[in-house]
Amino acid sequence: MDIIFDEVSFSYGHKKVLDQVAFRVPHGEFLAIIGPNGGGKTTLVKLALGLLKPDSGKVSILGDLPERSVHRIGYVPQDLSQAEKFPITVLDTVLMGRAGRSRRRSIQKEDRYKALEAMEVMGVRDLEYSLVGSLSMGQRQRVMIARALTTDPEMLILDEPTASVDQDTQKSLYDNLLRLNREKTIVVVSHDLFAVTSHATAVACVNRKVCYHSEGEIKPEMLELAYGACPVELIAHGLPHRVLGKHSEKGETSDD
Amino acid sequence: MIDALQYDFMRNAIMAALLASAICGVIGTLVVIKRFVILAGGIAHAAYGGIGMALYFGFPPRFGAISFSFAVSLILARITLLDRGRADTIIGVIWAVGMALGVVFADLTPGYGVHLMSYLFGSILSVSMIDLYLMGSIALLTWGFFYWNYRSILVYAYDEDFARTRGIAVTLFHYVIVVMISLSVVMLIRVVGLILVIALLTIPPYMAERFSRSLMGMAVVSFAFSLLFCFLGLVVSYYLDLTSGASIILVAGGGYFLSRFLPGKEVGRIAK
């Protein structure tokens, strides 16, 4: 098992974000983590990376404590648009993935090789000396994934990788991830469940509780948990909508 | 200007401009990138509390300022690490309380008329050798730290969560950098004044950011900008007989305004 959450609870102050969460993810899965905003998706990821410690329960990643296995994980954080003006080239950004690995102060031949290789895989090799701030969102996302790949991780965790990219870019990003999935376990957090579930082999729906399904399908009970039994929410992506009383059948609701 | 160089105070002032610019090159770059401007301002103003206390209890003002802002910077480092959301408010409180403490203690000190202006704009023309040695040490310290830890600092500056997953000691870097900001700011207050410190920490790096392709480049370019402004400001103040600190700031402000008309790097344009 690559990921084990064993009765894990976590609160920010008095607000319980995750409540006795338990699930296991075997190696090689393409796991989609879905759920409403504020439902605990990012908290779940931070627990898996050891950036947060659970109040109770146990997290095990790649057979070890998260803080001990974190160097074997490639992490792609949520969109960093605030770093837009940061003066840095694509190559230097990707090389960040190799920092902290050794005590070496200067960039080694191997660091450079690994970075260029990862950029090749993600199709951003020719952008080497471009400034990250000048890239499109899709390209920037590829650069961030390349950065995560520079350490040959056994697992990739991506937090909202397609939040601000167009449909075509989204598709090609997922195709890339599917290719990487042949060797690596992939975890993608998204609030956009249709996009992510069409590629996923397992789905975890997070809203304080976690509802885990080992098939990449959305089940009515997951919607129930995530969106309070209102599938309109799901179609409208959280846009405000009027609830027209109880829906009789799922999928037959009308959006106003 | 050449004739001005025969005076010791002018040579010292130029040396002080060079060292202050060197310090602000690194520290200012980190302050702008990490959005620590309010934090640096808070430390600078709170240092005034240390100066007031030192006057009252009768030890050297510099010592009071350093120890007081060291303590304040530890508190601020902790707050900014734990509670990003309200950190600016707490900094505002410490800012005001520190300053008020300074004023009150100075009031209580018998026979001491406080010249607030000299702390606001400093007096680069009356820099002593001790000031220069202290500034030189801090300049070496900041550049050494920046150079030797460049790769880790880069990741820390870019995104802290990712840095943590790569085993970089983010908490330690955060504390060290905030303490270094406080040391630099205090060291520079007496020389160039509170307001000039904030100006040098923000204007040159902010301008440099537009023309740089790396963090190191940004530090070097802001060092250069800062030096240019200080030098031109000194010239202006010498010939027109104006307050040196304020002249330097106005030159920097003018430089910033002009730089908006220059083409920067290609940020904003979407590559294919």
The ipTM, to two decimals, is 0.86
Could you give the percent of chain B with pLDDT greater than 90?
54
Choose the weakest-confidence range: A53-57, B63-67, B233-237. Answer: B63-67
Q: Flag whether B263 is in a domain.
A: no
Q: What is the pLDDT of residue B116?
A: 62
Q: Of the ranges B103-112, B192-201, B209-218, which is most confident?
A: B209-218
The answer to whether residues B7 and B234 touch, using CB atoms and an 8 Å cutoff, is: no
CATH number of the domain residue B42 falls in = 1.10.3470.10
A171/A141 Cα distance (integer angstroms): 13
- CB contact B162 to A (< 8 Å): yes
Number of H helices, E strands in chain A: 9, 9
Nearest-by-Cβ selection for A77 from B159, B167, B268: B159
How many structural domains are present in chain B? 1
Q: Flag whether B250 is in a domain.
A: yes
Span B93-131, pLDDT tens digits = 999 999 899 889 888 887 765 566 677 777 788 888 988
Confidence of residue A1 (pLDDT cuts 50, 70, 90): confident
Q: Which domain holds residue B158?
A: 2-258
Question: Among residues 20-49 of chain A, which lie with CB inside 8 Å of chain B?
Answer: 46, 49
A-chain CB neighbours of B165 within 8 Å are 49-51, 70-71, 73, 75
- CB contact A101 to B (< 8 Å): yes
Confidence of residue A222 (pLDDT cuts 50, 70, 90): low
The answer to whether residues A25 and A31 touch, using CB atoms and an 8 Å cutoff, is: yes
Span A9-35, pLDDT tens digits = 999 888 899 999 999 999 999 999 988
Report domain extents, chain A: 3-218
- CB contact B251 to A (< 8 Å): no
What is the SS3 assignment for B174-199?
HHHHHHHHHHHHHHHHHHHCHHHHHH
Confidence of residue A224 (pLDDT cuts 50, 70, 90): low
Domain A3-218 top-level CATH class: alpha beta
Q: Flag whether B266 is in a domain.
A: no
Residue A232 has pLDDT above 90, yes or no: no
- CB contact A243 to B (< 8 Å): no
Confidence of residue B61 (pLDDT cuts 50, 70, 90): confident
Mean pLDDT to the nearest integer, A98-114 = 81
Q: What is the pLDDT of residue B125?
A: 84
- CB contact B85 to A (< 8 Å): no
3-state secondary structure (DSSP) of residue A16: strand
Mean pLDDT to the nearest integer, A134-156 = 92
Q: Flag whether B268 is in a domain.
A: no
Nearest-by-Cβ selection for B162 from A77, A89, A92: A77
CA quadruple A256, A220, A77, B37: dihedral sign: positive
